[in-house]
Chain A
């Protein structure tokens, strides 16, 4: 209840700040979407020349792509801590966060939330729906519930990985450049992992499990040769990675000694 009321207040402030510069806000939403849609463009152009990508049809690829956008949008809305090191550690803002009554991570989430990125999720949902209409797959009553469960799992994976990476800022104060690297890797989770070699496939499945934010959970609905049971690991992997991320974060915060002077 307590968190819900702070959340509403922060959300109102967010709206007020963003609505002050409406044009900026609009441009940002549009360019963000365009940036994500370049990959859609890639799929569409490639399928002008072939009917299958490693055994997957265009609508199956679109379906995965649409799914990929949903958890990504939710994650960027709530758990995106991009630039944490520069903004909070180097500038000493973390000291302020720690004096606030809310849990430090919640406080950070509230300060950085970006509901505009949910437009991306909506777009993804529409693309997924469009692909679904063209696919000959059965619809079962529990599919919508599984979808919600999968999305939560995927969001937790993003959250876990990025919280883990961000908390490295507590252990080393120099910028590591790891975040942009991981950011690059995550995009490859929306292509069928079987096309990669063993090393990349293993990495995307177990080390940086970005296959679980795209191809695996999406394939649950597609009746592909990836077993549904395996796709259902998504929430499990999500909980495991989020717990690890959260644990390392707490250890990091305890080690944090504050900014100099």
Chain B
């Protein structure tokens, strides 16, 4: 069983390798975004030393590392699942001897690993050379950060599974998928770190899973969260991973029972 999962990851990895054009343009898009936000934040800081609990150096590092982390955790599982539900091919998938949702997660992981190895890591090296950013010096910070972005991947993918599975219940979940995309980029702290939000918004976001995707791991990486607080941040991620598994399981059970494949 385990080797089957490894193969799913491997095949998606190779598939990504085959569609290299998207890979090149992806690199340029991320480079543009990091570059533009870098200058934008520099201008926002102006002569200020710290804003929203961030120093300039922490902010530029935050921008770089959160975009690079996004390259790893980002995937389109929601759209893939919704399409397979709409065109009915999900019915074929259900006959396969492995759990469909885990299969999708593995595909997402293959995609993520591809971008991590060929994109985030070389990208981070280049960004470090061009821009003023500060990398953590302690080895264990790197280690916990790696574990944390793996959980970012899990939580983001879980949200994608939930959004995608919605297609079982409505005929068009396009709006929901778009809304999810906005919510993840905005509420995860990718566009603006959560400590910049007004107090009431911070309180609300603390109770949502999005901060676990970008804000928490990037805060550890930039050294804003140190010592035992690192473990607290990690526990929040684990909590959301476990907590989100429940609705996925329930909805999946419900959906299988009411699956109607049109035509075919």
In chain B, residues 184-210, which have Cβ atoms closer than 8 Å to a Cβ of chain A? Answer: 185-186, 191-192, 196-198
Which residue of A45, A49, A178, A195 contacts B40 across the interface (Cβ within 8 Å)?
A195
A195 CA / B40 CA spacing, docked (Å): 7
- B36 lies within 8 A of A48 (CB): no
The 9 closest A-B pairs by CB, nearest first: A177-B25, A27-B175, A195-B43, A54-B43, A31-B178, A49-B51, A188-B36, A196-B39, A31-B175
In chain A, residues 172-201, which have Cβ atoms closer than 8 Å to a Cβ of chain B? Answer: 174-178, 180-181, 184-185, 188, 191-192, 195-197, 200
Shortest B79–chain A CB gap in Å is: 14
**Pairs across A and B, CB under 8 Å, 10 listed:** A21-B172, A24-B172, A27-B175, A35-B178, A45-B192, A176-B21, A177-B22, A181-B32, A188-B32, A200-B39
Chain A 22-50, CB-CB to B under 8 Å as 1, else 0, gives 00100110111011001001100110111
- B46 lies within 8 A of A176 (CB): no
In chain B, residues 84-134, which have Cβ atoms closer than 8 Å to a Cβ of chain A? Answer: none
Task: Tell me if A13 is interfacial: C-beta within 8 Å of chain B.
Answer: no
Which residue of A41, A45, A50, A197 contacts B46 across the interface (Cβ within 8 Å)?
A50
A-side interface residues, number (CB < 8 Å):
36
Chain B residues, Cβ within 8 Å of A46: 44, 192, 196
Task: Tell me if B138 is interfacial: C-beta within 8 Å of chain A.
Answer: no
A181 CA / B40 CA spacing, docked (Å): 19
Shortest B43–chain A CB gap in Å is: 4
A50 CA / B54 CA spacing, docked (Å): 13
A46 CA / B43 CA spacing, docked (Å): 11
Task: Tell me if B260 is interfacial: C-beta within 8 Å of chain A.
Answer: no
Which residue of B22, B25, B179, B191 contacts A31 across the interface (Cβ within 8 Å)?
B179
Which residue of B42, B46, B172, B192 contacts A42 across the interface (Cβ within 8 Å)?
B192
A32 CA / B24 CA spacing, docked (Å): 27
In chain B, residues 4-63, which have Cβ atoms closer than 8 Å to a Cβ of chain A? Answer: 21-22, 24-26, 28-29, 32-33, 35-36, 39-40, 42-46, 48, 51-52
A192 CA / B52 CA spacing, docked (Å): 22
A185 CA / B37 CA spacing, docked (Å): 12
- B179 lies within 8 A of A34 (CB): yes
A50 CA / B196 CA spacing, docked (Å): 11
Q: If the complex has contacts A34-B179, A54-B46, are A24 and B174 also in contact, measured as CB distance less than 8 A?
A: yes
Shortest A193–chain B CB gap in Å is: 10
Chain A residues, Cβ within 8 Å of B32: 181, 184-185, 188
- B186 lies within 8 A of A38 (CB): yes
Q: Which residue of B lies closest to A178 (CB)?
A: B25
B-side interface residues, number (CB < 8 Å):
34
Task: Tell me if A98 is interfacial: C-beta within 8 Å of chain B.
Answer: no
Q: Which residue of B lies closest to A27 (CB)?
A: B175
Shortest A234–chain B CB gap in Å is: 21
Task: Tell me if B226 is interfacial: C-beta within 8 Å of chain A.
Answer: no
- A38 lies within 8 A of B196 (CB): no
Chain A CB count within 10 A is highest, among B32, B42, B198, for B32
Chain A residues, Cβ within 8 Å of B147: none
Which residues of B come within 8 Å of A, CB atoms? 21-22, 24-26, 28-29, 32-33, 35-36, 39-40, 42-46, 48, 51-52, 172, 174-175, 178-179, 182, 185-186, 191-192, 196-198
Q: Which residue of A lies closest to B30 (CB)?
A: A184
A30 CA / B174 CA spacing, docked (Å): 12
- B182 lies within 8 A of A34 (CB): yes
Shortest A177–chain B CB gap in Å is: 3
- B44 lies within 8 A of A53 (CB): yes
Further contacts, 7 of them, CB under 8 A, given A35-B182, A48-B196: A21-B172, A31-B175, A38-B185, A38-B191, A176-B21, A178-B25, A200-B36
A177 CA / B35 CA spacing, docked (Å): 19
Q: Which residue of A lies closest to B54 (CB)?
A: A49
Chain B residues, Cβ within 8 Å of A197: 39
- B36 lies within 8 A of A50 (CB): no
A32 CA / B181 CA spacing, docked (Å): 12
Q: Which residue of A lies closest to B48 (CB)?
A: A50
Which residue of B36, B175, B192 contacts A30 across the interface (Cβ within 8 Å)?
B175
A74 CA / B61 CA spacing, docked (Å): 37
Chain B residues, Cβ within 8 Å of A180: 25, 29
Shortest A230–chain B CB gap in Å is: 20
- A27 lies within 8 A of B26 (CB): no
Task: Tell me if A52 is interfacial: C-beta within 8 Å of chain B.
Answer: yes
Chain B residues, Cβ within 8 Å of A178: 25
A32 CA / B179 CA spacing, docked (Å): 9
A54 CA / B42 CA spacing, docked (Å): 9
A185 CA / B139 CA spacing, docked (Å): 36
